[in-house]
Amino acid sequence: MTECQALMISAPSSGSGKTSVTAAIARWQRRLGRKVRVFKTGPDFLDPMILERASGHPVYQLDLFMGGLDHCRSLLAEAAASADLILVEGVMGLFDGDPSSADLAAAFGLPVLAVIDASAMAQTFAALATGLQRFRPDVKVCGVIANRVGSVSHGKMVAQGLPPELPLVAALPRDANLSLPERHLGLVQALELPELEAQLDAWADQFARALEPEFEFPRVSFENAASPYAEAQPQALAGRHIAVAQDAAFSFIYPANLDCLRALGAELEFFSPLQGQVLPECDALWLPGGYPELHAQTLRQHPSFFADLRQHVQAGKPLLAECGGMLCLLDQLIDTEGQTQLMAGVMPGTARMQSKLAALGLQAIAWPEGLLRGHSFHYSTLGTPLHPIATAENPNAGRTAEALYQQGSLRASYIHHYFASNPAAVAAFFIGDRTKDTHGN
């Protein structure tokens, strides 16, 4: 067993301020010279980008469906071995979803610090806080943060009625200048926020001023576990060069996916189409999700990107395209203003952006090589003459059930796959047809 200070930061609902509080604590502790590891509960790409900048370390997902209990245990054990403090940001409300943040907290004995938006309440704050504390006996809510209070007196009012075992850890004042901009899918990406470093420092300063001096981070014992990739086939992708698009248009990348590919022996080659970089010489290509719809003109003006994609597939080399990566490959993309953007023309079809959410949910999909898990979250709809080779299942019986398309060496879906859910299947796809050389002969 390894002991480490640890907390889950959760809330009654989305929009309460979990990300800003988690980032504030991480940056404050990091400035004190402590090593902080931050995790995000459930599938998410945007919040972890902010949290990575705050903590100075990549932020991994803890998801009991996508990765499983043993995988999460391994990630936590690995972090606890070197970190001074582990923070886990929850998802949605504490008890929302299946699996929920509460399920994760219970599985690993993580004490919960609840962030409650107090902007429109006073003494009712205590009723809500004690309700969270008492709802599940296997989940320990160890303190609360009142977020967006209007004044010092307001902060005192929300503390009234809290029991001694549920202290008010901090009352954070409302400050519109400390809010982060949002767009469809969530927060604007960290790499697009030039003032983010200053904002993170401001959050940390605000939290340090508001923190009750008696508060101490609880200590948690984590069970030692093998590497989360111990069962990966270490030589399955040995000698294979996999190109990965990575920039503001292709940024939805789980760090665990990169770890998984490396554990399988792959050599990763990153490139930025938005910066005009050419597709590297490679045996396979991964186009992750992101925002190609915001950068369609820049991608189209790249001197070789679309042609390189077509040549890659024509050569029979594996190409995995996920969500935004798939949109880039289509014939055209219609934006919310009704303007048509010509795309790469590698995959037949048209996507249409819309102002409302099109799909959201965890996904389990049967690849020809085996079952993979992941999630879906997008604001576009797709029309394509291709017939799916598989359709995902939603573990929560939701409506989202994404299709998996295959055309030659191209495989595409709206699903953001979690490679660690089946490394062998991922390896088998990226190996491709070894009877052909890298030029498709």
Q: List Cβ neighbours of 265 (8 Å cut-off, separation of 6 or more).
A: 234, 235, 236, 237, 238, 239, 240
How far is 66 from 62, CA to CA, in rounded Å?
8
Catalytic residue among 260, 282, 323, 328: 323
End-to-end CA distance of the chain: 53
Give yes or no: 282 in active site: no
How far is 29 from 42, CA to CA, in rounded Å?
24
> CA triplet 436, 426, 308: central angle to 5 degrees?
50
273-279, long-range: CB < 8 A, 24+ apart: 273/245, 273/247, 273/249, 273/299, 273/302, 273/305, 274/247, 274/248, 274/249, 274/298, 274/299, 275/247, 276/302, 276/303, 278/304, 278/305, 278/308, 279/243, 279/304, 279/305, 279/308, 279/309, 279/312
User: DSSP string spanning 18-61?
Assistant: HHHHHHHHHHHHHHTT--EEEEEESS-SHHHHHHHHHHTS--EE
User: 329: closest CA among 299, 298, 359, 302?
Assistant: 299
How far is 146 from 212, CA to CA, in rounded Å?
12
H or E stretch covering 137 = none
b or e along 145-177 (b: 16 or more beta carbons within 10 Å of the residue's beta carbon)?
bbbbbeeeebbebbbeebeeebebbbbbbeeee
Find out whether 376 and 415 touch, Cβ atoms under 8 Å: yes
Taking residue 259's Cβ as centre, other Cβ atoms within 10 Å add up to: 19
User: 274: closest CA among 311, 244, 243, 301?
Assistant: 301
Encoding tokens for residue 55?
């903590």
- Enter the DSSP assignment of 233: -
Encoding tokens for residue 437?
């050389």
- Enter the DSSP assignment of 107: H
Pairing, β 284-287 against β 168-173: unpaired
Catalytic center residues: 323
